[in-house]
Amino acid sequence: MDVLKKVPVREQDPKVRATNFEEVCLGYNEEEAKEEASRCIQCKNPKCVAGCPVSINIPGFIKEVENGNHEEAAKIIAESSALPAVCGRVCPQESQCEGRCIRGIKGEPISIGKLERFVADWSREHGFVPAAPEKTNGKKVAVIGSGPSGLTCAGDLAKLGYEVTIFEALHEAGGVLTYGIPEFRLPKEGVVQPEIDNVRKLGVKIETNVIVGKSVTIDELLDEEGFQAVFIGSGAGLPMFMGIPGENANGVFSANEYLTRSNLMKAFRSDYDTPIVAGQKVAVVGGGNVAMDAARTALRLGAEVHVVYRRSEAELPARVEEVHHAKEEGIIFDLLTNPIEILTDEKGWVNGMKCVRMELGEPDASGRRRPVEVEGSEFVIDVDTVIMSLGTSPNPLISNTTKGLDINKRKCIIAEESTGQTSKEGVYAGGDAVTGAATVILAMEAGRAGARGIHEYLSAKE
Ligand SMILES: Cc1cc2nc3c(=O)[nH]c(=O)nc-3n(C[C@H](O)[C@H](O)[C@H](O)COP(=O)(O)OP(=O)(O)OC[C@H]3O[C@@H](n4cnc5c(N)ncnc54)[C@H](O)[C@@H]3O)c2cc1C
């Protein structure tokens, strides 16, 4: 065994996986996990823990894996995280825990994410469920949104004895974990649902199909429905568009809508008749992780897929691993290319996308080189479907319908980082609704902070 290298993880072959929605990464088995765990040098002052937004005792759980005590490992992780099987799969570990690992200085860091995933999968397969509180304290808290921030806040409050109800606008719980991230990176029935069920087992109620701001307002929850505090974890689900001609054509989707149709409306299953326009030639505009997910989904639905991005490969905001997987599967990257018009046929359907070539100029405020149009470089890409993946912002419904709730210029709710306290008494917020589109683990950290804030507030009131 080469201690400088990670134990390799098995993956589906790119040619095979490009035609199915099965998980790409197959994870470690017990033997591989034990071997990888034995590479951890158990630092006295573990930098990986400082790199984890929810401060999991990483060396602690890895030691238990090395010793074969998987249930103990699961208990250690459960102290800090309600969604380990999710985080083990989708966290950007390279810039967090693994990015700080001492082993990474001379060789490859410990595969912390894959070990977390192994423990979480082992617990699920062996029926390990985190302990629920023995009795409640009779205080009711409402949580808006069942994404990672809402689930984490609800789980932490339930462990403290609160009676928590999550109100979710969609018909299924999980937020982006359920409607956004594709099945081939994060299986829903096998991985996401069991972790949501574990939160339910702590005593949390989840009411779906309730749009707060329409079905009921925050003021009504507090004044009429008997809730003593509210946590807003409503995410940032409102897509942005370019504002170019033809964007209203049939066959133009936001990445969120496209992925929702695939995930939640099960367009990826042949036994479902979901309208998704499984185009023959699809352009995905944008270069972030969401663009990679949309592109890889369209590929699996049978299309030739172009990612159209106005800067060069070095500036692609998506994780290197995602770009690598997309290329392996056959996605075509049209870099330094910017759309200026979506062309349509006589029936209003997409019939090509007019683009210009770009070159990189001086760095802009973000430090990245500014793309500048090359004069006279217009050309048409032959596509019949366009997916816009240009970022999202929070939906203003909640802020528009709640008295005294302050938001900033980007429509994000203003909340204190350490407690989630907003401008309105008894109302806390966290996750993408506060930061704008970010990551699962940062949303979970905010959910934990919100639970602490609400507990302090309600304890002080007593
Ligand atoms: C396609 C895609 C892929 C991603 N991939 C990754 C990844 O690999 N790794 C990573 O770390 N992050 C990833 N992210 C980002 C990550 O998923 C989000 O940062 C995270 O889910 C935010 O959590 P949240 O709880 O704040 O909000 P969300 O997950 O957005 O959940 C908010 C929930 O609130 C509900 N809601 C909204 N308004 C209301 C209302 N008025 N009433 C009731 N309910 C409401 C929504 O329906 C939703 O279910 C990805 C995002 C997308 C879109």
pLDDT band at 128 (very low <50, low <70, confident <90, very high): confident
Q: Mean pLDDT across the stretch 357-362?
A: 93
pLDDT of residue 275: 64
For residue 204, name the pLDDT band (cuts at 50, 70, 90): very high
Q: What is the mean pLDDT of the chain?
A: 94
pLDDT higher than threshold 80 for residue 333: yes
Q: How far away, in angstroms, is 161 Cα from ligand 1 center?
A: 26
What is the 80 CA–ligand 1 centroid distance (Å)?
A: 20
Report the pLDDT averaged over residues 34-41: 97
Residue 39 CA to ligand 1 center (angstroms) comes to 34
> What count of other Cβ atoms lies within 10 Å of the Cβ of residue 194?
16
pLDDT at 271: 76
pTM of the model: 0.94
CA 427 / ligand 1 centre spacing (Å): 20
Question: What's the Cα-to-Cα distance from 312 to each of 283, 357, 359, rounded to whole Å?
Answer: 17, 11, 9
Chain Cα centroid distance, residue 395: 17
Q: CB neighbours (10 Å) of residue 242?
A: 16
Question: Is the per-residue pLDDT at 440 higher than 90?
Answer: yes
Ligand 1 centroid distance, CA of 188 (Å):
14
List pLDDT tens digits, range 366-405: 788 889 999 999 999 999 999 999 999 999 999 999 999 9
pLDDT of residue 268: 72
Asked whether residue 364 carries a pLDDT value surpassing 90, the answer given is no
Q: Which residues sit with their C-beta closer than 6 Å to ligand 1?
A: 90-92, 144-150, 167-170, 175-176, 180-181, 210-213, 233-235, 237, 259, 289-290, 293, 395, 397-398, 431-433, 437-441, 443
Among the atoms of ligand 1, which is closest to the Cα of residue 441? Answer: 11
pLDDT at 279 over 70: no
* Mean pLDDT (whole number) for 239-266: 93
Which residue has its alpha carbon closest to ligand 1 atom 8? 90
Q: What is the pLDDT of residues 130-164, one digit of tens each?
A: 777 778 899 999 999 999 999 999 999 999 999 99
Q: What is the pLDDT of residue 292?
A: 97
With cut-offs at 50, 70 and 90, classify the pLDDT of residue 211: very high
Does 274 score more than 80 pLDDT? no
Residue 173 CA: nearest ligand 1 atom is: 49
CA of 444 to the centre of ligand 1 (A): 11
Ligand 1 atom closest to residue 182's alpha carbon, by position in its atom list? 1
pLDDT of residue 278: 60
Query: Which residue's CA is minimally distant from atom 7 of ligand 1?
Result: 90
- Residue to mutate, 321, 393, 440, ligand 1, most ligand atoms under 8 Å from C-beta: 440
Q: What is the DSSP annotation of 267-327?
A: TTSTT--------SEEEEE--SHHHHHHHHHHHHTT-EEEEE-SS-GGG--S-HHHHHHHH
- Ligand 1 pocket, mutate which of 167, 234, 325, 407 (most atoms under 8 A from CB): 234
Q: How confident is the model at residue 35 (pLDDT cuts 50, 70, 90)?
A: very high
C-alpha of residue 123 to centroid of ligand 1, in Å:
25
CA pair distance 343, 326, nearest whole angstrom: 26
Atom of ligand 1 nearest to the CA of 432: 26
How far does residue 268's CA lie from ligand 1's centre (Å)? 20
Q: Dihedral of the CA atoms 189, 278, 211, 425 (nearest 10)? A: 80
pLDDT of residue 266: 73
Per DSSP, the three-state class of 50 is helix
Q: How confident is the model at residue 277 (pLDDT cuts 50, 70, 90)?
A: low
Distance from C-alpha of 138 to C-alpha of 461, rounded to nearest angstrom = 14
C-alpha 137: how far from chain center? 32
Which residue CA neighbors atom 41 of ligand 1 most closely? 212
Rounded to the nearest angstrom, the distance between the alpha carbon of 433 and the centre of ligand 1 is: 9
Mind listing the pLDDT tens digit for each residue in 156-188? Answer: 999 999 999 999 999 999 999 999 999 999 999
